[in-house]
Copies of this chain bind each other. A is one copy, B any other.
Amino acid sequence: LHSGAFDEIRRMLRGMSPAEVARLIESTPLRARNLLWQLIDKEDEGEVLQYVNEELAAHFLRHRNTEDIVSLVEGFDTDDFADLLQELPKTVMRQVLDSLDDQNRYRIETILGYPEDTAGGLMDTDIITIRPDISLDVVLRYLRRHESLPDTTDNLHVVNRTGQFVGILPLTKLLIKDPGMSVREAMNTDAKAIPASTPAREVAQTFEREDLVTAPVVDDNGVLLGRITIDDVVDVILEGADHSLMSMAGMDEDEDTFAPVWKTTRRRAVWLGINLLTAFLASYMIGLFEGTLEKVVALAVLMPIVASMGGIAGNQTLTLVIRGMALGHVGSANVRWLISKEMAVGFLNGILWSAVVGTIATLWFNDIMLGAVLATAMIINLLIAAMAGASLPMLLDKMGIDPALSGGVILTTVTDVVGFCSFLGLATLYYT
């Protein structure tokens, strides 16, 4: 690229919003990313950085000095700042922390004290607190002394002398209530604070259920630490959804579509290797019936049908149950009911489609027993597929294994083995 082209890209980047620039960078391969980053105007770097994912932001900052980093992340919310810091090398992280003033360092360190996927890791420490014994009028005058209020401020947080959370005062209440009223009289005391150790997934469920915009976060002693805002919760929800989708294909939510070929190859190789084991197991099972296959070659032609239908049906049940567990609809209380229901569905669909399959096979190879064997094997496999699909997620979850990641492989192993064995096994009984 000649320098004129660079100027043109620079002009184009200047015409885009920081969010658009960030999306463009995330949509290009590594080399182009570095180039684009260099072409951004210095004064826009900080804003763009807020919109790219943390891993990439850390990559861009890797070779900057401490002062540069601190000035670039000035506009970040404290929680995003903390997340980014965790992606940087330990020594850089320490240097950045040391260069902050006491109050900011204390705030960031509080967040860093909690795992990223808990309420404490999600919270933002930039909040406005007031005391319960003052009047609304005093609150109004206090707010007017501010140059600006933190983004997404919908509530003021009421704390007692020891910093413990006692309630929230929504701005909407502050605006309509009599200014002579005290905060204690006007505040909502039924607003529940979220303990800092609460897992992010539970936080998201609370926000969804109660249609919250922000929620206060407290430590074990009820002391107010910060608040969680809906934008971070939306990120948690999106990551959760991404996780389910990607796991089912053996990838994780950090998978970068534009990662270099080598990196991607290595990541994918593992998953293919695991599935190869499954495939070999199926081949081994088929190998056991080599004698039968030699006699009736039509069996080889038809055998993928049984395995594939079992896989498809089982995968539907598996997906449904994994989703149900994520929504909190499926648990140990109703899983038994669900297994019988899914088996009933599998049986009925087995009857229906095995009749079709059996008829076609009978006509194709002019062998009614072949049709009967195929139909019977398919009913068996659909029943087993339903049972496995419905019971595996709970079972794996109890064993601490992610059902979205491993459920599919295990299910396919089951439906392949049962599919091939039942079909070839029944055929062996009849033909030998």
Contacts and interface: CB of A to CB of B under 8 A. Distances in A.
Chain A contact patch, size range? 35 or more
A261 interface: yes
A205 to B, nearest CB: 10
A29 B230 CA distance: 33
Chain A contact residues: helix, strand, loop or mixed: helix
A330 interface: yes
A280 B175 contact: no
Interface stretch (A68-76, A105-113, A206-214): A206-214
A19 interface: yes
A339 interface: no
A338 B318 CA distance: 30
A23 B143 CA distance: 40
Contact of A237 (B238, B271, B344): B238
Interface string A25-51: 011110000000000000000000001
Nearest to A285: B301
A241 interface: yes
A268 interface: yes
Contacts of A191: none
A12 interface: no
Most-contacted residue by chain B among A152, A257, A313 (CB, 10 A): A257
A248 interface: yes
A209 B19 contact: yes
Nearest to A150: B172
B19 A210 contact: yes
A286 B298 CA distance: 9
A405 interface: no
A132 interface: no
A147 interface: yes
A404 to B, nearest CB: 9
Given A287-B301, A297-B300, 15 more contacts: A29-B341, A51-B209, A241-B245, A242-B323, A245-B245, A245-B323, A246-B320, A246-B323, A249-B316, A261-B348, A265-B349, A279-B309, A290-B301, A299-B300, A304-B416
Interface of A: 19, 23, 26-29, 51, 140, 143-144, 146-149, 151-154, 171-172, 174-176, 207-211, 213, 230-231, 233-234, 237-238, 240-242, 244-246, 248-251, 255, 257-258, 261-262, 264-265, 268-269, 271-273, 275-276, 278-280, 282-283, 286-287, 290, 293-294, 297-305, 307-309, 312-313, 315-316, 318-321, 323-324, 328-331, 333-334, 337-338, 341, 344-345, 348-349, 352-353, 356-357, 360, 412, 416
Listed from nearest, the 10 A-B pairs whose CB atoms lie closest are A241-B241, A300-B300, A249-B319, A149-B172, A211-B231, A279-B305, A27-B329, A19-B209, A265-B348, A257-B324
